């Protein structure tokens, strides 16, 4: 990959082009681990910064996408470890300093947390291929053709994976609402 070589030589514009092309992949992978779009965006920024800093360590430019995926997986694993160390009461921040109109009551907080937990479970119940294809499309903004290229599968496979993922999530939603 010519762009990777140029970026390794210090061409920031070449790296920015790579980052723009693969940011959606990083966000989608991070979203699958975090279940939260904002956290996924934060992790994506961290991953791309780390990739720029470590680009000189990449031995084979053709392996850029796989290398970026490994950095993303490691960043997500680190994020989960940090999250596990945060006491649940601190996750909500200091609500005493918030205006009353922005505060959630404890039952509201509990309901939102439970709903997010259930959606994470529903996402995790999807097969890895279906989950990644759906996240690339919804979070990464990739077309079916772009996803097929990234995952090195036919477009019809991507169509099937996304269709099955949506169907399974619809079933899960009905179960959650019952």
Burial 138-152 (b: 16+ CB within 10 A, else e): bbbebebebbbebbe
Instruction: Say if 1-88 and 105-178 have the same CATH topology.
Output: no
From the options 3.60.21.70, 3.40.50.150, 1.10.10.10, 3.90.730.10, give the CATH code of 105-178: 1.10.10.10
For the chain, counts of helices (H) and of strands (E): 9, 0
Domain boundaries, the chain: 1-88, 105-178
Task: Please give the CATH number for the structural domain made up of 1-88.
Answer: 1.10.1740.10
Task: Spell out the per-residue pLDDT of the chain, length 178, in tens.
Answer: 799 999 999 999 999 999 999 999 999 989 888 878 888 999 999 999 999 999 999 999 999 999 999 999 999 999 888 876 655 444 445 445 545 555 556 676 666 677 777 777 888 888 888 988 998 998 888 999 999 988 889 999 999 999 999 998 888 877 766 6
For tokens 């903004």, the residue is: 141
Q: Quick count: other Cβ atoms within 10 Å of Cβ 102?
A: 7
pTM as predicted: 0.70
């Amino acid at each position: 990959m010519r762009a990777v070589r140029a970026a390794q030589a210090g061409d920031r514009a070449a790296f920015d082009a790579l980052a723009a092309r693969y940011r959606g992949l990083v966000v989608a992978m991070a979203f699958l681990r975090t279940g939260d779009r904002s956290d996924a965006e934060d992790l994506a920024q961290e991953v791309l910064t780390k990739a720029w800093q470590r680009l000189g360590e990449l031995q084979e430019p053709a392996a850029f996408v796989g290398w970026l995926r490994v950095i993303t997986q490691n960043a997500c694993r680190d994020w989960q470890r940090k999250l596990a160390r945060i006491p649940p009461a601190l996750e909500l921040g200091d609500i005493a300093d918030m205006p009353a109109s922005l505060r959630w009551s404890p039952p509201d907080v509990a309901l939102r947390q439970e709903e997010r937990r259930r959606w994470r479970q529903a996402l995790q119940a999807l097969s890895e291929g279906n989950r990644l294809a759906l996240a690339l499309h919804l979070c990464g903004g990739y077309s079916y053709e772009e996803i097929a290229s990234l995952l090195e599968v036919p477009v019809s496979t991507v169509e099937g994976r996304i269709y099955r993922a949506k169907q399974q999530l619809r079933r899960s939603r009905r179960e959650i609402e019952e």
